[in-house]
Structure 1
Amino acid sequence: MFSVIYPRTACKNTKTLLWQLHKRFRKKDKKSWSKTTNTERAQEYFDVAYPPVYGSRWPSIRLALQSKQKYIAVINNFANHEGIVEEFEELGAVDIRYKYKRCAERMRTRSQQQDLQKSCNEANSAISTDDNDQQPIRPSLIELDDDEIAALQNQEPLSRYPEEYRQRILAKGGSFGTADVDFTNRLITPSEGGLGGGSSGGVMMDYVPSTKLKGLENWIEETDVFHRASQGDAEIGLKVEIQQEPISLPETLKIYTFNKGDISEFPRPKLDRELGVLDHYCMDGASVLPVLALEMQPGQTVLDLCAAPGGKSLLALQTLLPSLVVSNDKTEGRVKRIREIMKQYIPSGLSVMENTSVITMEDGCLLREREAYDHVLVDAPCLTDRHSLLESDNSIFKTTRTKERLKLPELQTQLLVNALHKVRPGGSIVYSTCTLSPLQNDGVVHLALTRIWQETTIECSVVDMSAAIRPLSFLYRFGNNLGLRYGQIVLPSLLSNFGPMYFAKIKRLK
């Protein structure tokens, strides 16, 4: 079996690579490593892997990940919820729709005014003095995240990038002016030499057999595994579609949250004794974004490929839009969790839901059907950063799960490839994770799209949703200026401790 992706140059001299890793991390013996807890292993891994990617943001992200998580509450449309809504409002919680509508409307108005002004300028260069008296439209700070506001105030946006980035720019004859830096491609380089620049060909397509890593599995880090995506979008036949219209928030969804900086908690869900279901469902606030990104229409079909524990499938059902939601997972234990959630929130014998919610148990890596759904959600298994830093039980950083951890990118890639086969032409796929790992986020999307280009006749486009999610900046800290090629990411912060959540939307053209 193969497990780890390396640059082609590193594969030419595996012994040198292993020796560099050995020197770099001061290899521990098995006895001392066994005394390290799973959370300590996760913390050590993240502290090496993420600073080159997130720079000066990492300390605040790390602190948020180890702090109390924030939740949103989704009102159950299949229960009597009038009482709980009143209780939420008394606690100071707000329905995100009201604030979102105002932000989205301001965004539309400003866009229309800018388009109109541009058209007038092009049609008539002689603008009257009366028109010149009009003040330019000032962007609202509510649409800027914490990092963007800080960048505007400090006027040092490039200071967040590591020294090695600046050295690479200088080596290429560049300067530090914003206009001279190309952020269209993610560039992640090892913090020490030896795994340097890529060669021609598929840099991300080289593999090292897992047998070559014996004794060094614990020291493989993000910046060593994922060097860079060597192929441009044009080389894999990829089109990019920019979505300007704000993301749709279905009227049927009632989602409550507390304002930024408010760490109040929602009460425990109450049982509606008449219907036998709970009145609301609490989940990480960032988890709603992959479902909203699907932008479902009435009567469409949805497959949640890796559905456990079932929160995203339940959210899709709460929109009352799909005619079918298939909640799938691989093992009986995980499927059992989905069944429990559906039983707790959907009344038994509800005729409208009898044929709408279907639960299946299949391996998402096995392709059993093609072009069967309008939308597919791939909420893939990943490093689960927050859980790994807080919980030692069932951690992906257990020594017995090392090989499983190293194989995650291969698993994620196969799941996404199969999803692209399962969706109908004209449909969409949303790939999501709850990790900050660039390999498991943009890296997996790139690998899957490359395979689709090389092995099938399927054509795809990636939807750039950075403008579409802008009105939700009042709620989330979005990761901007990170060089993401395909997706969007929610970064945890103490003011808005949701996530992490990465999501990328792909449309199947044919």
Structure 2
Amino acid sequence: MLAITKWRIEQRLLVLHMQRRFKRKESQRKKTNTIRAQEYFDVAYPPVYGPRWPSIRLALLSKQKYVAVINNFANHELTVENFQDLGAVDIRHKYSIIADRMKASKKQKAQQVSEECEESFSEDQRDTEDSELIRPSLVKLDDDELAARAKVEPISRYPEEYQLRALAKDPTLGAAEFDNTSRVILPSEVGTRGTSIMMDYVPATKLKGLENWIEETDIFVQQGDREIGFITEKQEEPINLPSMLKVYAFAKGDISDFPQPKMDHHLKVLDYYALDGASLLPVLALDIQAGEKVLDLCAAPGGKTLIALQTILPGIVVSNDASESRGNRIRETLRQYIPHGISSFERHSVITKSDGCNIREKEAYDKILVDVPCLTDRLSLKEDDNSIFKTTRTKERLSLPELQSNLLASALQAVRPGGTVVYSTCTLSPLQNDGVVYLALSKLWQETTIECTIVDMSYAVRPLSFLYRFGTNLGLRYGQIVLPSLLNNFGPMYVAKIRRLR
């Protein structure tokens, strides 16, 4: 009897064990890639975005909003009329009103400052008729005046004795404050570090079987401007919206859909291109000028290339992608929107297939867009197929920052001195945004003589605040970010503008 009871207990325990194993396997089978993405973001983003994360998360999981870029090569007058009947808003009209107000306000403030300076100068001139006005003592200047004068006065105007007097007044001022000939710290002033660049990102844990890779949630970024030899310059004018670029969107809070694009049967092209409204920002940040040579480094599926071409400004746009299939997607996009047979325009567009991390042409482009592969937050939360959070793509996902920084560093070598590189992602990830900019510039600082400056666009993008929810007070050092919002559900989109000095 005892043996039978023992046997029954063992059988029951075996059944319970098998049930637990089955439930575990069932649970693992049910965990989709979108759930993995949600779990990842719920760990990685709350420490960065704080109380804003719940609303951002809700927007990411909600219906995405689009803008319509009118195709200038179709019957755009009819398309504009149809959009106006639907209640869509002309982005240019609203933008121009805000930008003009900003310019007028700035001009008025500048005039007031000029008048105050003239009045102050007149008083100083009466008091110091016999004094040397060419080299005023820095001791008499407060911090704001010192900063303002440093922007316009060369270093030769301030000999060593004046620097020493200023330092005596404020020891926190470094010698680099006075070097305004290059506006960057010379490479010789910074020693090379013995550790690799990736060691600037300190992991708390390692993944089993992936000892050379680290999770983004385990990373803390150590950043310092002096360590990578550049400073920031402000873009003093509102961001440029090219006159030929016609963009329509529905008003804030309106989640109406645009109708399906229609074929212009005469020219055999579609009448408009729909895309996430935040995707306009990287192209606008390039500030393309007439006749410039532009490279779209990671161009597929071709939307940003198409926007650049719709401005009718570039001398040539080179659309590159390392994948043959993705290159075909670019060709298909352009085929649908650019009429065949316009030889004068077809010469403005070239599609190439090359490794973006190793661009052969050096100092060959005026403007380069580096819209890199990333976590694609919104897509990862909605699409389960071929997701970057697929378990078989773990190594690929963890290596993204290295790929991104190599692409950006390559672009900065391919742009001419004085040219501009815009780096962009569609993720909220701090590492893949500011962190990658830091990694790329660190690499260039240590391995080349290239010097760069970050262009602060915080003032320049203000006229677009009616369209985008810009992230503020997030500790961003190098770029701007559009946060998803239920009222205008665009993004996320991170954009950093870098100007190569030499």
SS class of match (2:465): helix
Count of aligned pairs: 406
> Equivalent residues in 2 for 1:467-478 (5 A)?
467-478=459-470
Structure 2 counterpart SS, 1:429: strand
Shift of 1:401: 0.4
Match of 2:444 in 1: 452
Quote the Cα distance in structure 2 between the aligned partners of 1:235 and 1:109: 39
Displacement over 6 Å in runs of 4+: 28-31, 200-203
Q: Unmatched 5+ residue regions in structure 1?
A: 1-27, 126-199
Match of 2:58 in 1: 63
Closer, same or farther: CA 214–207 of 1 in aligned 2, 3 Å:
farther
SS in 2 for 1:241: strand
Tell me how far 1:365 sits from its aligned partner: 1.5
- How far apart, CA to CA, are the structure 1 residues paired with 2:93 and 2:307? 19
Alignment check: 8 A CA contact 2:424 2:496 kept: yes
C-alpha displacement of 1:340: 0.5
**C-alpha distance in structure 2 between counterparts of 1:61 and 1:289, whole Å:** 19
Which residue number in structure 2 is paired with residue 316 of structure 1? 308
- CA shift, 1:223, in A, is 3.7
Q: Which of 74, 81, 102 is the equivalent residue of 1:79? A: 74
State the match for 1:438 in structure 2: 430
How far apart are the structure 1 equivalents of 2:196 and 2:230? 16
Moved more, 237-246 or 444-453: 237-246
Query: 1:51: Cα distance to partner?
Result: 0.4
SS at match of 1:381: coil
Q: Distance in 2 between matches of 1:64 and 1:74?
A: 23
Residues 360-399 of structure 1 correspond to what in structure 2 (within 5 A)?
360-399=352-391
Give 1:40-189 correspondences, 5 Å limit: 40-124=35-119
| Letter of the 1:454 counterpart | Q
Question: Aligned pair 1:228/2:215, yes or no?
Answer: no
Aligned residue number for residue 353 of structure 1: 345
Work out whether residues 95 and 257 of structure 1, in 8 Å CA contact, stay in contact via their aligned partners in 2.
yes
Kindly provide the amino acid, as one letter, of the partner of residue 456 in structure 1. Answer: T
Q: Deviations over 1:262-294 (max 9, x none)?
A: 111111100011101001000000001100100
Give CA deviations for 1:358-382 in whole Å, capped at 9, x if unaligned.
1111111123221111111000000
In 1, the alpha carbon distance for the partners of 2:436 and 2:483 equals: 19
The residue matched to 1:213 in structure 2 has which SS? coil
Give the 3 Å change call, closer, same or farther, for CA 328–216 of structure 1 in structure 2.
Answer: closer
Asked if 1:288 is matched to 2:280, the reply is yes
Counterpart-to-counterpart distance in 2, 1:496 and 1:415: 31
Deviation at 1:32, TM superposition (A): 4.4
Distance 1:220-1:447 versus aligned 2 partners, 3 A rule: closer
**Aligned-partner Cα distance in 2 for 1:106–1:212:** 53
Offset at residue 237 of structure 1 (A): 1.2
| Aligned counterparts of 2:28 and 2:249: Cα–Cα separation in 1 | 42
- Partner deviation per Cα, 1:449-475 (whole Å, 9 max, x = no partner): 000000001111110000000011011
Which of 1 and 2 has higher RCO (CA within 8 Å, sep 6+)? 1
Tell me, what secondary structure is at the counterpart of 2:498?
A: strand
- TM-superposition CA deviations, 1:15-47 (whole Å, max 9, x none): xxxxxxxxxxxxx98874443100000000000
Deviations 1:203-229 (A, max 9, x none): 8535799x9522689x9653412x123
Q: Offset of 1:332 from its aligned partner?
A: 1.2
Q: Is the 8 A contact 1:72 1:255 kept in 2?
A: yes
Residue deviations 1:312-353, cap 9 Å, x none? 000000000001101110111111110100100001111221
Task: Give the 3 Å change call, closer, same or farther, for CA 459–417 of structure 1 in structure 2.
Answer: same
Q: Tell me if structure 2 keeps the 8 A contact 1:203–1:228.
A: no
Question: Given residue 50 of structure 1, which amino acid in structure 2 is its aligned partner?
Answer: Y
1:140 aligns to what?
none
- Which stretches in structure 2 are left out of the alignment for 5+ residues? 1-22, 121-193
CA-based RMSD of the aligned residues comes to 2.3
- Provide TM-score, normalisation by structure 1: 0.76
Corresponding position of 2:168: none
Report percent identity of matched pairs.
70
